[in-house]
Amino acid sequence: MAKLYFFYGAMNSGKTTRILQCEYNYTEEGMHAIIMKPSIDTKGNEKIVSRIGASKKVDYLIDKDENIFDLIVSEYGNVDLILVDEAQFLTRRQVNQLMDIVVDLDIPVMCYGLRTDFKGNGFPGSTRLLEIAHELTEIKTICKCGKKAMFNVRLIDGKVVTEGESVAIDGKNKISYTVACCKCFRLKTNHKFDYEEKNN
Ligand SMILES: [Zn+2]
């Protein structure tokens, strides 16, 4: 039986490298894997680019209103595997559609994405995947202090920022990210989880 998989981690944990490797392995075995990603992510446009230099054009960019189940039935009914990069940007409804693909069409779907945004809050796509995926796998990466990095810190022109939209639109400011363990994330961002809960 096919399954819905979610591989999650902080930024720079090697998710894209794994997708490219997986697609390569399938192709080598004579099977057909497709790579999709939500179109909201503009940084690599139609390409997925891994940090170690490998890149590939995605097979399909998913619009936020797209019904992925209908798309697969009409265009990709014979694929052996669906890989989704930047899955945090899917809508909750689209994650439900991926589950329908797994259950009704018996096609495995492997989603890769961030667990949380730079404020430490879940993205809609990743939150839904954490709720319903058959298999959850954390892809671990390391904070500068040596502990496991769980959070993403946004920097603009090298300075830590704590305000802004969870999806950054590239403007004239240079946005970058670094990863941090919980302790370092709180130190860098002055973020108090309890304070946030009280104010929600
Ligand atoms: Zn740390």
**Greater pLDDT, 45 or 171:** 45
Q: What does the pLDDT read at residue 83?
A: 97
Q: Does a structural domain hold residue 145?
A: no
**Per-residue CA distances from 173 to 31, 156, 158, 159, 160 (Å):** 43, 6, 10, 11, 13
Measured distance CA(78)–CA(147) in Å, rounded: 43
75 counts as catalytic: no
Q: What does the pLDDT read at residue 5?
A: 98
Report, as an integer, the average pLDDT of 155-178. 82
**Whether residue 102 is found in the same domain as residue 189:** no
Q: How confident is the model at residue 199 (pLDDT cuts 50, 70, 90)?
A: low
Q: Does a structural domain hold residue 8?
A: yes
Query: Which is nearest to 116 in space by CA: 151, 165, 162?
Result: 151
**Whether residue 27 is found in the same domain as residue 55:** yes
How does pLDDT run across 31-87, given as a tens digit for each residue?
999 999 999 755 557 888 887 878 889 999 999 999 999 999 999 989 999 999 999
**Whether residue 130 is found in the same domain as residue 161:** no
Q: Active site residue: 46, 66, 86, 197, which one?
A: 86
Q: What does the pLDDT read at residue 20?
A: 93
What is the CA(173)–ligand 1 centre distance, in A?
Answer: 26
> 160 and 189 in contact (C-beta within 8 Å)?
yes
Q: Does a structural domain hold residue 43?
A: yes
**Per-residue CA distances from 23 to 122, 129, 148 (Å):** 27, 21, 27
**Whether residue 131 is found in the same domain as residue 185:** no
Q: How confident is the model at residue 143 (pLDDT cuts 50, 70, 90)?
A: very high
> 95 and 132 in contact (C-beta within 8 Å)?
yes
Q: How confident is the model at residue 29 (pLDDT cuts 50, 70, 90)?
A: very high
Q: Which two tokens stand for residue 87?
A: 């899955």
Q: What's 118's domain CATH number? A: 3.40.50.300
**Whether residue 167 is found in the same domain as residue 84:** no
Q: What does the pLDDT read at residue 44?
A: 53
Domain count for the chain = 2
**Whether residue 47 is found in the same domain as residue 107:** yes
Q: Are strands 4-9 and 33-38 parallel, antiparallel or unpaired?
A: unpaired
Q: Does a structural domain hold residue 146?
A: no
Q: Does a structural domain hold residue 115?
A: yes
Q: Does a structural domain hold residue 143?
A: no
How does pLDDT run across 93-140, given as a tens digit for each residue?
999 999 999 999 999 999 999 999 999 999 999 999 999 999 999 999
**Whether residue 82 is found in the same domain as residue 159:** no
Question: Where would I find the beta strands (DSSP E) of 40-174?
Answer: 47-49, 55-57, 60-62, 81-84, 109-114, 135-138, 151-156, 159-161
Asked if pLDDT for residue 184 goes beyond 60, the answer is: yes
What is the CA(120)–ligand 1 centre distance, in A?
Answer: 15
Tell if the pTM clears 0.75, that is, is over it.
Answer: yes
Q: Does a structural domain hold residue 110?
A: yes
Q: Which of the residue ranges 97-111, 147-161, 162-176 has the most confident prediction, judged by mean pLDDT?
A: 97-111
**Whether residue 134 is found in the same domain as residue 174:** no
**Whether residue 75 is found in the same domain as residue 30:** yes
What is the CA(8)–ligand 1 centre distance, in A?
Answer: 19
Name residues whose C-beta falls within 8 Å of residue 122's C-beta, 6 or more positions apart in sequence.
115, 116, 130
- Torsion angle of C-alpha atoms 166, 11, 44, 129, degrees rounded to 10: -70
How does pLDDT run across 6-26, given as a tens digit for each residue?
999 999 888 989 999 999 999
**Whether residue 27 is found in the same domain as residue 115:** yes
Measured distance CA(127)–CA(94) in Å, rounded: 12
Range of the domain at 103: 4-138
What is the CA(147)–ligand 1 centre distance, in A?
Answer: 5
